[in-house]
Amino acid sequence: MNICFLMYPWEQIDPENDTSLALIKECARRGHGVALCSPANLTIRNSVTNAFCTVISRMEKVPASLKSFYNKAILREEMLPLAGFDVIFMRANPPLDPIMLNFLDSVKDDVFIVNSLQGLREANNKLYTAAFGDSHSNIIPATHVSKNKQYLVDQIKESTAERMILKPLNGFGGSGVILIEKSAMSNIKSLLDFYVTNADGSSNYVILQEYIEGADQGDVRILLLNGEPIGAMRRIPSAEDHRSNVTAGGSIAKHHLSKEEKALCKQIGPKLVNDGLFFVGIDVIGGKLVEVNVMSPGGITYMNKVYKAKLECKVIDFIESKVLDKLQAFDRRSRLRKTVEDA
């Protein structure tokens, strides 16, 4: 199998805690061909979609640790046609680049793409969670999304709660997430000016969300594969920051899914699979779904450490099975067509 990871550059990888690196290493351990490229390196040559790829040379023995693998990997640069890969694994950080998807549209019928392009288009920002609808209202906190600053101010004033969460529509890793309090109402308009209005006069959507009691104790990151949970961890904020993201200084702890969390996964899993969102990270607080991460969900390395697991093996097992299904279907069609042609 040959797999291309569409992600951030190699030099930006955290060699000790990077989920993408764990997935790459597992592919290399199994003897698969591995390349990576960033969205900016997509190109078209003679009407064929290519990428300037960083190719990882095959190793006789793959080092056991992520850091050793990262340091010992031999890299070379090469332009390669994307349709020649079996899998394109999306690991680029938000926000989603729509031009990147336009490039990938030309190969989506030839290559298994994780996650699907349509799924990424629908779920790449936080609206995917906010717009789950009335039938899912029991699992999401009350959420408002708007560019209208006065409307957002009114929602804060009308809320019965003292605190709410404000965050940008396209943020990730906890970036821009702030806790607002009615007692500091004099600062709200200034904050909204900063979040909504750009220097050129254009505006951004922001999310205003019900504060869930217990959020100060952290959240739960759950990884779902093909609609089923494969791992979870509790993320605990530091004393200096309300955000529980590890990148924002949060710590991690073991977490076993509650009955409520299992029911939540069961409720949203079929929709994720139907939308082609096979590898997803969800964030849950107090049994409520607050975010769905579909572009580059992380957490594998941390979960592996606390549970002494190898979750990347489950992910690559799944991808191998999807590629095998695709190859077997192609072989079957070819044999049936030959039978018709020979008749």
Phi-psi sector, 84: left (phi>0), alpha (psi -120 to 50), beta: alpha
Is the pLDDT reported for residue 128 higher than 90?
no
Question: Residue range 6-27: average pLDDT?
Answer: 97
Q: How far apart are CA 124 and CA 95, in angstroms?
A: 7
Query: Which of 185-194, 292-301, 307-316 has the lowest average pLDDT?
Result: 185-194
- Mean pLDDT of all residues in the chain? 91
Q: How far apart are CA 120 and CA 114, in angstroms?
A: 9
Question: Residue range 261-277: average pLDDT?
Answer: 95
Neighbours of 55 (CB within 10 A): 18
What pLDDT score was predicted for residue 173? 67
What pLDDT score was predicted for residue 183? 84
Could you tell me if residue 124 is inside a domain? no
Could you tell me if residue 224 is inside a domain? yes
- CATH for 205: 3.30.1490.20
What pLDDT score was predicted for residue 214? 82
Could you tell me if residue 324 is inside a domain? no
Could you tell me if residue 89 is inside a domain? yes
Q: How far apart are CA 191 and CA 209, in angstroms?
A: 15
Which pair of tokens denotes residue 79?
């332009």
Could you tell me if residue 301 is inside a domain? yes
Instruction: Tell which of 114, 134, 152 closes a domain.
Output: 114
Higher-pLDDT residue of 103, 186: 103
| Residue 66 to residues 18, 59, 221, 256, Cα–Cα distance (Å) | 8, 14, 22, 26
For the chain, the domain total comes to 3
The domain in which residue 68 lies consists of 2-114
What pLDDT score was predicted for residue 314? 98
Neighbours of 2 (CB within 10 A): 16
Instruction: Tell which of 184, 210, 236 closes a domain.
Output: 210
Question: Residue range 287-315: average pLDDT?
Answer: 95
Neighbours of 54 (CB within 10 A): 21
Write the pLDDT tens digit of every residue in 38-67. Answer: 999 999 999 999 999 999 999 999 999 999
Q: Are residues 79 and 98 in the same domain?
A: yes
Neighbours of 90 (CB within 10 A): 25
- CATH for 107: 3.40.50.20
User: With 0-12 CB in 10 A as exposed, 13-18 as middle and 19+ as buried, what is 145?
Assistant: middle
What pLDDT score was predicted for residue 199? 74
C-alpha closest to that of 234 among 279, 191, 284, 188: 284
Tell me, rounded to whole angstroms, the distance of Cα 193 from its chain centroid: 29
Q: Is omega for the bond preceding 148 within 30 degrees of 0, making it cis?
A: no
242 pLDDT band, cuts 50/70/90, is low
Buried b (16+ CB within 10 A) or exposed e, 192-224: beebbeeeeeeeebbbbbbbbeebeebbbbbbb
Q: Are residues 222 and 201 in the same domain?
A: no
Is the pLDDT reported for residue 319 higher than 80?
yes
Write the pLDDT tens digit of every residue in 132-191. Answer: 655 555 788 888 899 999 999 999 999 888 899 998 877 666 678 888 888 888 888 888
- CATH for 295: 3.30.470.20
Could you tell me if residue 164 is inside a domain? yes
Q: Is omega for the bond preceding 94 within 30 degrees of 0, making it cis?
A: no
